[in-house]
Amino acid sequence: MKHFILISTMLLQSLVAADRPNILWFVVEDMSSHFAYNGEKSVNTPHVDRLAREGTIFSNAYVTAPVCSTSRSAMITGMYQTTIGAHHHRSSQGEEKIHLPKHVKTVPELFKEAGYYTCNGSAEGKVGKRDYNFVHDYKKMYDGADWSGKKVGQPFFAQVQLKGGKRRNQVKKDIIKKLYDPVKVGYFELPPYYAPIKEVEEDWAAYLNTVQFVDLQVGKILERLEKENELDNTLIIFMTDHGVSHVRGKQFCYDEGAKVPFIVWAPKKIKAALRDELILHIDMAATSLHFAGIDIPDYMQARTLFGKQAKEREYIVSARDRCDETVDRIRGVRKGSFKYIRNFYPERPYLQPCAYKDAKVFMQPLKDYYAAGKMNSIQALAFQSTRPAEELYELNNDQWEIKNLAGDKAYEDKLVEMRELLNKWVKESHDLGQSPESEAMFNSDMKVYVDKIKKNAPARAKIIEDNIAQMKKWAKEGK
């Protein structure tokens, strides 16, 4: 009798699990869509290509913020970071804290309440990156680093965090490239706005090698799921937290920074397809809840991409605010083939002082190249001392966002339309970035940031302090 009860219980659990699939998110850092499935010929990415071949590819996916902590804060709540006050990068680090609105719950909490085993880990099985800009309780959100601790028949919600483009320095040290044929300089094309100098080309090759390494990591996770008989009942979403960390990429609302790969894989539940409608990365939150049979909260700004509740977006918005010590406010809107960008600090240079980006191996060589007058007009775009208040691009004919149409009378009506669209979004979404960050919050976060850097790199900490002083000076000048 006991054996019968045990068998019946296990059967019931397996049936419940079959109706409630595992949900697994691959979240890759600092990477645009440079995968073979997307046309990048210099890389070999068979595992991600498999997900793309057997899953649904969303070819026009954008993050709501082109920098990690703000993007992740949005991702884990299904909300615009600008709506919940989490729009400044690495905020809530010091004495001044940001709390989520009382009615907002994180996605892991919703899964946990529904009986899922929740985990956040890495390819190495360790606790994975969170980087949320608000106060949160890890134990309330997650049960462990991976799903090994779940009960028999219990479905899991897992995030697998992969370092992606952040491994570029390791690639250069031969830690990674021994595992496959490395991408070499000369086997790829740089975007036309980057001068093809040695430092840029070597760094781009290293970046493409991290794309291949990500694919190896994805393959190992898929292999584990298959061995554990979990793969067939797992819905996988593969995406990156923003684009490649480069001059015009990460931290900017151009496609290099805001457009990301996005694949939903579940062959038992959805057919392979290529969809080109505009989506946001936060939509993974609502989509995951949909497939798990969990009600999508009414407050959530994310939209499910499947099912009866699915509704296409008319337009998408990406937003950039303070990144580390660098104060900024940029909003980017895409509707159809048009991209509109508004720079709220046009009198400041494109490349404001930022210790993080200025330390990149390619940055100073590029600045020297510009100072020597060697750049053409396209390569020099990002090195101007001011920037236009408005930018407008037609992406079908200008994929690199080079020709600004904002001053072209032929596109005056389109400019007005896109401007009004952004104004509408700012109001309807309650964009908290309209008001500058309080001095108390800025000082609180900067103290933690500087103190942390001072321990190992006092010279860099001094640069950050100088940049902070510059930000405050420009603010007083109304610049």
- In angstroms, how far is the first alpha carbon of the chain from the final one? 79
Rounded Cα–Cα distance for residues 367 and 345 (Å): 21
**CB crowding 360-397: b at 16 or more within 10 Å, else e:** bebbebbeebbeeeebeeebbbbbeeebeebbbbbbee
Bridge partners, 468 (sequence order): none
Dist. CA 71–CA 73, nearest whole Å: 6
CA dist 195 and 381 (Å) reads 11
* Residue of 68, 119, 253, 354 with catalytic role: 68
Reference 69, options 241, 239, 214; nearest CA is 241
Give CA torsion, residues 267, 273, 278, 282, to 10 deg: 10
Nearest to 261 by CA among 243, 235, 286: 243
Burial of 96 (0-12, 13-18, 19+ CB in 10 A): middle
State which H helix or E strand residue 43 sits in: none
68 is catalytic: yes
Catalytic residue positions, numbered: 68
